Amino acid sequence: MGATKAVTDASFASDVLKSDKPVLVDFWAEWCGPCRKVSPLLEEIAGEMSDQVTIVKLNIDENPETARTYRVMSVPTLTIFKNGEPVQSIAGAKPKGELVKLIESAL
């Protein structure tokens, strides 16, 4: 995984909720075609904006608790967290510009 980081139910609180900068969480699944389209865009953005945001990936099949807590109904769902709270979410594969706008909404 290059610039993005995998998180789990166990590490979600420390990696996302307690982060000192905004965190974009990619709720994804292995079987999800659109998730594979979004993944390289997130890697690019993670490299370009690493000083402003952390981008993490949470596999919903391996980590159902967190997905349930945040009512993730479809994948990919991308949620930006700031100060431990979800700020905004989008579902589905989106172009890079929309992903950057989602991140900027929390900066």
Known catalytic residues are 32, 35
Answer whether 25's CB lies under 8 Å from 81's CB. Answer: yes
Element containing residue 86 per DSSP (H, E): strand 85-91
Please state the separation of Cα 72 from the chain's center in Å.
12
Burial of residue 31, with CB atoms counted within 10 A of its CB: 0-12 exposed, 13-18 middle, 19 or more buried = exposed
Give the ranges where the chain is alpha helix by DSSP (H).
Answer: 12, 33-48, 64-69, 96-104
Reading the block at residue 23, the tokens are 């965190």
